[in-house]
Amino acid sequence: ESPVPLDQFLSTNARNVQALLSCGRFPINVDLLRLLPSLRLVVTPSAGLNHIDLSECHSRGVAVANAGSVACCDVADLAVGLFIDVLRKISAADRYVKQGLWASKTSYPLGSKLKGKRIGIVGLGSIGQEVAKRLEAFGCSISYNSRNQKKSFSYPFYSNVVELSANSDALVICCGLSDQTHRLINKEVLLALGKEGVLINVGRGAIIDEKEMVQCLVQGDIGGAGLDVFENEPNVPKELFALDNVVLSPHRAAFTPETLTSMREIAVGNLEAFFSNKPLLSQVIDD
Amino acid sequence: MESIDVLMLCPMISYLEQELQRRYNVLKLWTAPEKSQFIKDHSATIRAIVGDGGHGADAEMIEALPRLEILSSNSVGVDKIDLKKCREKGIRVTYTPDVLNDEVADLAIGLILAVLRRLCASDRYVRSGKWKKGDFKLTTKFTGKTVGIIGLGRIGMAIAKRAEAFNCPICYFSRTEKPDTKYKYYPSVLELASNCQILVVACSLTAESRHIVNREVMNALGPKGVLINIGRGPHVDEPELVSALVEGRLGGAGLDVYEHEPEVPEELFSLENVVLLPHVGTATVETRKAMADLVVGNLEAHFSNKPLLTPLV
């Protein structure tokens, strides 16, 4: 709300600031951190951490707390919703009916069965685990790639995303964006997924090489996609608008009133814990 | 071997048409300029009928075919077939249960998510360029919502199993209470609708279940409630449904079936809390093939005097 430029505002007013509440998109980087010498805590209401320079925070002794797993069910629900939509052509058929085209009696193109589909989950964190649990109930089989193998889950683990993709009928991207996951889903991974393969992204747009993905979809090298996130939101590649096998969502996976309330509560809870010298509720530990 | 005349009531997937043509002499009713004349012309030879969910045989047609032995329906819904007449005349009726339970249940959950999370409306929002001007609104959580199922048969159970993976408590209404399920039973649809947030119609259409979802039930479901119909259009009082949605007395609806398909009330077209599908409950390549195999398999069994695969009558 101040008319003064940020760095001036901070150097004048913020020398004693100990805790920062991020609005979720503003970058918390070295330039900002340098202006806050007393900072000991960054709280972000999101689950995503890609807007925060975690190693810079770590080296400055600044703790980071996020929304933990409060959003994981809503995000998982959306991932599953997008997957069913792509396979059974729900949004495309809804468009068809609402344009008055059903009356013309040409039968609508058939979709594809969920049961027996091999799902490759990229990132088996709290979101990925909820996606797995839901899709198992539809008769899908689960495999995954993650930074580390999770011993408590019996799903087959692939250390290589290309291999995971080659053995999957669908990839569901549930991981966070980091240096390791930037453009993780590249042309090789997409071609391994194949002409019938479906790509679902509820992580971050930049995990996928968007240009390659668009080309694969336009050329039919992959079978379809359900996307909640994009490289440069709110811009979405126009080529996707003409495709019926693509479902587009405006980054709303976590946005239900219940989850927003939980995110607010946990952010406040973290701040309260910090100022009363108690352990943070959802501290981000780099594992 | 003499060729058997099989009357096919409507176009179906080409795989099924081909498999029938390979074995029988297929008479395509929809190609006839005058249907009742066509039936009369072939009444001496037609021994089997192949129909589907939307095309069956009423008493008149059955009476017009003295040599009819079997009706093999490419559907699990048989409300268009006069079963009583078939029983009277000793005509066998087969249908396609079980091979489509998963498909229909998947679509029911897909519709729930599409309505609650506004998948179709937000997809339109992005495609129209509106996202550049502002964020889409908040949508409604599905996880943990109470799901009420009308009809806890094979399809109803498949829906319950899936909804449970979303931590949804399940309750149901059925003609009789099912002793071996853990789900909560309500003795009336009205009570069920008053105690759930998402109501799914999954029963078969009979005289008793016609308009089982009426104005009272919709009011009980309420402005935050969502109705999902993957049964038959006549399960729901359609004009009442339209006014409940338009007036906001009902929170939303996901429909795959309608009273007079393919007609869909146009008042619903502009409602973003309504998702409309063109009766695609079983519409996957895999399931339509499995259904077709049952249709043909039942006819083959009948004409070689073997036990029918999936008889209803």
pLDDT digits (tens, 9 = 90+) for A158-182: 999 999 999 999 999 999 999 999 9
pLDDT of residue A7: 78
Alpha helices, DSSP H only, in chain A? 6-13, 30-34, 54-59, 72-88, 90-98, 126-136, 161-166, 187-193, 210-219, 257-275
State phi, psi for A137 to the nearest 5 degrees: -65, -20
pLDDT of residue A26: 84
Residue numbers of B between 151 and 190 with CB closer than 8 Å to A: 161-162, 164-167
Contact B124 A95 (CB under 8 A): yes
Q: What DSSP designation does A280 have? A: P
Amino acid, res. A197? G
Q: What DSSP designation does B108 have? A: H
Residues of B within 8 A of A90 (CB-CB) are 107, 110-111, 114, 119-120, 275, 277
What is the distance between the alpha carbons of residues A213 and A219, in angstroms, rounded to a whole number? Answer: 10
pLDDT of residue B238: 98
- A235 lies within 8 A of chain B by CB: yes
What is the distance between the alpha carbons of residues B183 and B198, in angstroms, rounded to a whole number? Answer: 15
What is the distance between the alpha carbons of residues B145 and A99, in angstroms, rounded to a whole number? Answer: 31
List residues bridging with A172 in a β-sheet.
Answer: A121, A200
B10: buried, middle or exposed (CB in 10 Å: 19+, 13-18, 0-12)? middle
Any catalytic annotation for residue A251?
yes
pLDDT of residue B9: 96
Going from the C-alpha of B161 to that of each of A111, A134, B167, the distances in angstroms are: 22, 10, 10
pLDDT of residue A6: 79
Identify which of A126, A128, A71, A54 has the alpha carbon closest to the alpha carbon of residue A266. Answer: A71
Amino acid, res. B139? T
What is the distance between the alpha carbons of residues B213 and B242, in angstroms, rounded to a whole number? Answer: 13
State phi, psi for A274 to the nearest 5 degrees: -60, -50
Rounded to the nearest angstrom, the minimum Cα separation between A66 and chain B is 20
Residues of B within 8 A of A75 (CB-CB) are none
Q: Across chain B, what does the average pLDDT equal?
A: 96
Identify which of A88, A71, A196, A192 has the alpha carbon closest to the alpha carbon of residue A138. Answer: A88
Asked if residue B108 lies in contact with residue B160, where contact means CB atoms within 8 angstroms, the answer is no
Asked if residue A144 lies in contact with residue A157, where contact means CB atoms within 8 angstroms, the answer is yes
* Span A224-235, pLDDT tens digits: 999 999 999 999
* Span A234-257, pLDDT tens digits: 999 999 999 999 999 999 999 999
Rounded to the nearest angstrom, the minimum Cα separation between A105 and chain B is 7
Q: Which of B114, B162, B164 sits opposite A81 (nearest CB)?
A: B114
Q: Which of A85, A102, A257 sits opposite B119 (nearest CB)?
A: A85
Residue numbers of B between 63 and 82 with CB closer than 8 Å to A: none
Residues of B within 8 A of A257 (CB-CB) are 138, 140-141
The tokens for A191 are 């071609």
**Residues in chain B where the model's pLDDT stays below 50:** none
Residue numbers of A between 118 and 177 with CB closer than 8 Å to B: 133-134, 136-139
What is the distance between the alpha carbons of residues A152 and A119, in angstroms, rounded to a whole number? Answer: 18
Any catalytic annotation for residue A233?
yes
% of residues, chain A, pLDDT over 90 = 84
What is the distance between the alpha carbons of residues B111 and B105, in angstroms, rounded to a whole number? Answer: 10
* Span A46-85, pLDDT tens digits: 888 889 999 999 999 999 999 988 999 999 999 999 999 9
Asked if residue A83 lies in contact with residue A198, where contact means CB atoms within 8 angstroms, the answer is yes
pLDDT of residue A105: 61
The tokens for A198 are 């479906």
The total of other beta-carbon atoms located within 10 Å of residue A125's CB is: 17
What is the distance between the alpha carbons of residues A68 and B82, in angstroms, rounded to a whole number? Answer: 58
In angstroms, how far is CA A255 from the centroid of its own chain? Answer: 12
- Report the residue of chain A nearest B113, measured CA to CA: A81
Identify which of B146, B262, B128, B156 has the alpha carbon closest to the alpha carbon of residue B193. Answer: B146
List residues bridging with A28 in a β-sheet.
Answer: A52
Any catalytic annotation for residue B259?
no
What is the distance between the alpha carbons of residues B84 and B78, in angstroms, rounded to a whole number? Answer: 12
